[in-house]
A and B are shown apart, each in its own frame.
Chain A
């Protein structure tokens, strides 16, 4: 009889102690899991906040880059036109004449010293006698 009572008490104590122990262990584990999940939730919000600016920014970059890529052919077309218009093109190489002074032909005084006056028509003629020179 006494043995039965003691064993009954032992079984009940074991059941209660076992439940308490496992409850404590599972409780501590679940507390750690809850802490980690709270940190995960905060990290997810951080990642979501960081990622929210990616799409509009990349869309704007793509749009602007497309405009730039479309305008570049026009720019270098204009630059090529400038290069073609500003490049010096020498004329056809012809026979080069003698160098002449820009001031024109210089009148020679040798003719005056000998009393020669060329005719207006270009033909050589006799000079008019100088009144100061004796004939």
Chain B
């Protein structure tokens, strides 16, 4: 098949081909930058995940705080018993 093109049209075609190559290279460069940035995001998200796993491990035993509070309340109740006992004994000693 033979196309009848003028020299101007043929020059424009060559220009379009050259521009196409330049665009392919520019797209490749920009997408390479995009891939590198996404890889950085991936690494940092993985770091955040590791940190959060350590934080979850460190806070896994916080349920014991409520139990500790209950035991401290038991100490207070025992202290009140001591208070009553010492009050009775002190009254007998003074009388």
Contact = CB atoms under 8 A, between A and B. Distances in A.
Nearest to B65: A57
Interface extent on A, as a size class? 35 or more
A82 B93 contact: yes
B27 A36 contact: no
Interface string A60-71: 110011011001
Interface of A: 1, 4, 7-8, 11-12, 14-15, 18-19, 22, 25-26, 29-30, 32-33, 36-37, 39-40, 43-44, 46-47, 50-51, 53-54, 56-58, 60-61, 64-65, 67-68, 71-72, 74-75, 78-79, 81-82, 85-86
Interface of B: 2-3, 5, 10, 13-14, 16-17, 20-21, 23-24, 27-28, 31-32, 34-35, 38-39, 41-42, 45-46, 48-49, 52-53, 55-56, 59-60, 62-63, 65-66, 68-69, 72-73, 75-76, 79-80, 82-83, 86-87, 89-90, 93-94
